[in-house]
């Protein structure tokens, strides 16, 4: 393979073009991931693409107050480290100043003098010496402005924050509670129906298949009002997990039956007839022959349904409601988007938690996913 790469201009342009497209497709997600791992102050003040570079930032702090002064050789001295008490912890001082407009007036190691004889010396490591000929009066410390270069720094703090205090952790478990049965139940129901529609002798088979295909494109939104009324009337379904499982099952069934039926109908006829002659009833044929042989199709539908349910917002809002103990990840993220619209550290970390599971599922089972897509689309759906 490697020998075939020749860097003639047109090949080079081809590689470059694809690289560019891939970059365009991955950068938005990369931005999210990188940001979610950055310090919240950094997210708000510098682009995520600078995360790996050392940034220079201006910081404002105060010296210690008068109580820290000591008298040395007739002068009163307050000494300490500028980084104490600042969020940075440690760092290097690139420059400092005494006025907000000029935080980079003095180089580290030099001394800034104030009008009344006070002076301030700041070293590169942040240690300072603030002196005065007369005793410092009581009150807060002197304001100091300095430029510091911040080395790249990553933290998982955003994640622990959203998981435990923004309700994302609970929503994660809720999402799983919704998604797992809402994936398995339709597979079972659809597989049985698909087998019946593919191989069993029943009246109106063709008609039923047409109905399923027709329902493939019915907009989900159509169903919401009638179902909501039905749920409210029934009492036991509204705002319960059972209710949302059944809703996702109902909405997923047309595609599931369609996909599985076309796969199962493609299994060799002889196998099924041979099992019939061998005296297996249809339930046994389904369990022993159809299920094992349909694994690829079952897997690909499972991935579809999993992604669809996990990523769904609409059905969750309508059928599960908005009480905090049942909300799912997408809902939680959407409401954070409303209430914490500017807090990118919360949004990025929450968003990444919501997309990590589908990404894992997707990458580990991509083969089946693609196969299912192809079966579902190329064959005429």
Partner 1 sequence: MADIKLTNLNKAYGAVHILKDVNLEIRSGEFIVFVGPSGCGKSTLLRSICGLESITSGTLEIDHAVVNEVPPSKRGIAMVFQSYALYPHMSVYENISFALENQGVPRDEIRQRVEKVADMLQLTPYLTRLPKALSGGQRQRVAIGRAIVRGAKVFLFDEPLSNLDAALRVATRMEIAKLKRGMPETTMIYVTHDQVEAMTLADRIVVLQAGRVEQVGTPMELYERPGNLFVAGFIGSPKMNFMTGAPADKMKCKTLGVRPEHLEISARPSPGSMSGKVEYAEILGSDSFVYVATGHGLITARENGRTAVKTGDTVHLTPQAGHVHRFDENGKRIESK
Partner 2 sequence: MTMQLFSAFFTVLVGVGGCLAYFWGSNALLDVLLPVSARNDDRSIRNLRLQSTIRPWLFLLPALILLAIYLIYPVFQTLWLSFHDKAGDAFVGLDNYRWAFSDTGFRTSIFNNFLWLLVVPAACTFLGLVIAVLTDRIFWGPVAKSFIFLPMAISFVGASVIWKFVYDYRGEGQEQIGILNAIVEWFGGSPQVWISMPFWNNFFLMVILIWIQTGFATVILGAALRGVPEDTLEAAVIDGAGPFKIFRRIMVPQIMPTIIVVWTTITVLVLKVFDIVLTMTNGQWDTQVLANLMFDWMFRGGGDFGRGAAIAIIIMIAVLPIMVWNIRQANAERKGGH
The footprint of partner 2 on residues 130-149 (CB under 8 A) is none
The single residue listed with the structure tokens 């930032």 is: 57
Q: By CB under 8 A, which span of 120-128, 134-142, 146-154, 193-201 interacts with partner 2? A: 193-201
The footprint of partner 1 on residues 229-268 (CB under 8 A) is 268
Residue 374 contacts partner 2 per CB under 8 A: yes
Q: How many CB atoms lie within 10 A of CB 98?
A: 17
The footprint of partner 2 on residues 53-92 (CB under 8 A) is none
Q: How far apart are CA 215 and CA 218, in angstroms?
A: 5
Residue 277 contacts partner 1 per CB under 8 A: yes
Q: How far apart are CA 275 and CA 39, in angstroms?
A: 63
The footprint of partner 2 on residues 330-369 (CB under 8 A) is 330, 333-334, 337, 344, 347-348, 350-351, 354-355, 358-359, 361-363, 366
Question: Among residues 7, 70, 101, 202, which is the contact residue for partner 2, using CB under 8 A?
Answer: 202
Least distance to partner 1, CB of residue 279, Å:
4
Q: How far apart are CA 151 and CA 153, in angstroms?
A: 6
Residues 6+ apart with CB under 8 A from 372: 259, 296, 297, 299, 300, 301, 303, 304
Q: How far apart are CA 377 and CA 349, in angstroms?
A: 35
Q: How far apart are CA 259 and CA 191, in angstroms?
A: 10
CA-wise closest residue to 178 among 235, 239, 230, 242: 242
The single residue listed with the structure tokens 């009833």 is: 281
Q: In what order do the strands lie in the sheet with 143-150?
A: 55-62, 143-150, 92-97
Question: Among residues 54, 165, 274, 366, which is the contact residue for partner 1, using CB under 8 A?
Answer: 274
Residue 213, contacted partner among partner 1, partner 2, none, CB below 5-8 A by kind: partner 2
Least distance to partner 2, CB of residue 97, Å:
20
Least distance to partner 1, CB of residue 10, Å:
44
Nearest to partner 1 of 191, 307 (CB atom): 191
Residue 279 contacts partner 1 per CB under 8 A: yes
Question: Among residues 270, 325, 338, 378, which is the contact residue for partner 1, using CB under 8 A?
Answer: 270
Question: Among residues 215, 280, 289, 299, which is the contact residue for partner 2, using CB under 8 A?
Answer: 215
The footprint of partner 1 on residues 289-328 (CB under 8 A) is 289, 292-293
* Long-range pairs, 160-167, Cβ under 8 A, ≥24: 161/345, 161/346, 161/349, 162/346, 162/349, 162/350, 162/353, 163/353, 166/332, 166/336, 166/340, 166/346, 166/350, 167/324, 167/327, 167/332
The single residue listed with the structure tokens 């059944």 is: 246
Least distance to partner 1, CB of residue 272, Å:
9
Question: Among residues 90, 276, 322, 377, which is the contact residue for partner 1, using CB under 8 A?
Answer: 276
Q: How far apart are CA 208 and CA 196, in angstroms?
A: 11
Question: Among residues 7, 101, 222, 277, which is the contact residue for partner 2, using CB under 8 A?
Answer: 222
Least distance to partner 1, CB of residue 217, Å:
31
Nearest to partner 2 of 49, 295 (CB atom): 49
The footprint of partner 2 on residues 262-281 (CB under 8 A) is 265-266, 269, 281
Identify whether the C-beta of residue 166 lies closer than 8 Å to the C-beta of residue 336: yes
Residue 288 contacts partner 1 per CB under 8 A: yes
Q: By CB under 8 A, which span of 7-15, 139-147, 189-197, 272-280 interacts with partner 1? A: 272-280
Residue 268, contacted partner among partner 2, partner 1, none, CB below 5-8 A by kind: partner 1
Question: Among residues 275, 307, 351, 353, which is the contact residue for partner 1, using CB under 8 A?
Answer: 275
Residue 313 contacts partner 2 per CB under 8 A: yes
Which two three-digit tokens encode residue 280? Answer: 């297996």
């Amino acid at each position: 393979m490697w020998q075939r790469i020749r860097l003639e201009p047109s090949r080079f342009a081809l590689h470059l073009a694809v690289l560019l497209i891939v970059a365009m497709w991955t950068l938005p997600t990369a931005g999210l991931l990188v940001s979610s791992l950055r310090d919240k102050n950094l997210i708000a003040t510098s682009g995520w693409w600078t995360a790996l570079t050392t940034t220079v930032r201006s910081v404002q702090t105060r010296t210690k107050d008068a109580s820290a002064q000591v008298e040395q050789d007739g002068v009163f001295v307050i000494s300490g480290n500028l980084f104490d008490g600042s969020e940075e912890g440690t760092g290097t001082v690139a420059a400092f100043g005494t006025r907000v407009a000029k935080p980079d007036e003095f180089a580290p190691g030099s001394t800034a003098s104030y009008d009344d004889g006070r002076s301030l010396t700041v070293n590169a490591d942040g240690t300072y010496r603030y002196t005065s000929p007369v005793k410092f009066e009581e009150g807060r410390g002197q304001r100091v402005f300095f430029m510091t270069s911040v080395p790249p720094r990553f933290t998982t703090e955003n994640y622990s924050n959203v998981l435990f205090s923004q309700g994302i952790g609970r929503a994660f478990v809720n999402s799983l509670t919704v998604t797992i049965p809402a994936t398995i139940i339709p597979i079972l129901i659809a597989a049985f129906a698909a087998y019946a529609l593919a191989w069993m002798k029943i009246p109106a088979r063709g008609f039923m298949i047409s109905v399923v295909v027709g329902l493939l494109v019915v907009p989900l939104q159509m169903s919401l009002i009638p179902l909501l009324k039905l749920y409210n009337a029934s009492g036991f379904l509204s705002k319960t997990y059972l209710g949302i499982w059944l809703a996702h099952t109902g909405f997923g069934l047309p595609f599931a039956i369609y996909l599985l039926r076309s796969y199962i109908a493609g299994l060799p006829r002889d196998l099924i007839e041979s099992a019939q002659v061998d005296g297996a009833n249809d339930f046994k044929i389904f369990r022993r022959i159809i299920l094992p042989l349909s694994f690829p199709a079952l897997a690909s539908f499972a991935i579809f349904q999993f992604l669809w349910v996990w990523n769904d917002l609409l059905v969750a809002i309508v059928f599960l409601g908005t009480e905090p103990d049942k909300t799912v990840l997408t809902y939680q993220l959407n409401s954070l988007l409303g209430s914490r619209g500017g807090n990118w550290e919360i949004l990025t970390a929450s968003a990444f938690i919501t997309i990590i599971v589908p990404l894992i599922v997707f990458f580990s089972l991509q083969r089946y996913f693609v196969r299912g897509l192809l079966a579902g689309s190329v064959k005429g759906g």
